[in-house]
Copies of this chain bind each other. A is one copy, B any other.
């Protein structure tokens, strides 16, 4: 099992995804600032993984707080939440995880007034979020598996795999792994996903590790490959899903969705419930992160573009709900009209949560 993020006695252990596939190197992050920096610099990326990382970072930071009163701890914790919330703007799982840690703080505060008790609960909560993420992806993998047929070739964009989550299954790749675990033969076509090359570097790496057949294409080949009849379904992850089903995901996802419709290929989004943001009516309200132009102009230390050329680098785009055949979550599969189906899933209990 790929261990994207792990809670250890020494700190938060993270696989440095910037170095993959050349190097499989793990960093030991020993403060909440180091975790925040790792999220910002994309040591770790992928909405669920960012959420889990943020929770662990807050637990780590709180555990190191030297305040002797709950009030001191609360001040420290609030500041840490602020720092953590400013790392990346698009993935709602970040804010979801921070809010859940805040609620844990408040709940414990009302029960126990010793800082150490609250710290212990925050650590337990971060580990719970980790465990639930693994379970959620297993669950959505089972639901999604039913949408794929034996022999299908699935195109995916970016990396929505073990590396984009707490580890293990992943979301979009969780659906693929779920289908394979259900005995279906599935082949994957991975868009390389410029500029960060999550497809070429990460999806290819983790699928190859699991012996799942994968072919990498440049992003601009997706249309040509679909036209040639080689793609049976598209499955992607999500960074934030609005109330109407509009989905923010890695830049290029919208393009893939338009091409899928053009070629009558079903386009599926796979994400845990924590990626839903029902406070937003439509995708128009989702903030889209603009990242450093250097990610486009350079590869590693290599400058590829002329000096000073203008560059745009939006990290995400929004796919309108009408292009989405279904949204696969850990609580079931939502279909249009999404306003109703997503609210319905949100109201149901988590699978296996026992209540």
Chain A residues engaging chain B, CB cutoff 8 angstroms? 21-22, 157, 191-195, 197, 200-201, 204-205, 208, 213-225, 227, 251-252, 254-255, 258-259, 262, 296-297, 299-300, 302-314, 317
- Chain B residues with Cβ below 8 Å from A205 are 306
A220 adjacent to B252 (CB under 8 Å): yes
- Given known contacts A218-B296, A310-B216, A317-B224, A201 and B255 CB-to-CB distance under 8 angstroms: no
Partner of A224, one of B208, B251, B259, B296: B251
Q: How far is the CA of A95 from the CA of B329 in the complex (A)?
A: 54
- Given known contacts A197-B304, A296-B192, A306-B21, A314 and B252 CB-to-CB distance under 8 angstroms: no
- Chain B residues with Cβ below 8 Å from A254 are 223-224, 227
- Chain B residues with Cβ below 8 Å from A193 are 220
- Given known contacts A21-B305, A299-B299, A314 and B221 CB-to-CB distance under 8 angstroms: yes
Q: How far is the CA of A254 from the CA of B299 in the complex (A)?
A: 26
- Chain B residues with Cβ below 8 Å from A304 are 197, 200-201, 299
What residue of chain B has the Cβ atom nearest to residue A307's Cβ? B21
- Chain B residues with Cβ below 8 Å from A310 are 213-216
What residue of chain B has the Cβ atom nearest to residue A308's Cβ? B208
Listed A/B pairs (24) with beta-carbon separation below 8 Å? A21-B306, A191-B220, A193-B220, A200-B296, A201-B304, A201-B306, A204-B309, A205-B306, A215-B309, A215-B312, A216-B297, A218-B252, A218-B296, A218-B313, A219-B252, A220-B251, A224-B251, A224-B252, A224-B254, A258-B262, A262-B262, A299-B302, A300-B302, A302-B302
A192 adjacent to B192 (CB under 8 Å): no
What residue of chain B has the Cβ atom nearest to residue A215's Cβ? B310
Q: How far is the CA of A259 from the CA of B157 in the complex (A)?
A: 17
Q: How far is the CA of A259 from the CA of B220 in the complex (A)?
A: 12
- Chain B residues with Cβ below 8 Å from A200 are 296-297, 304-305, 309
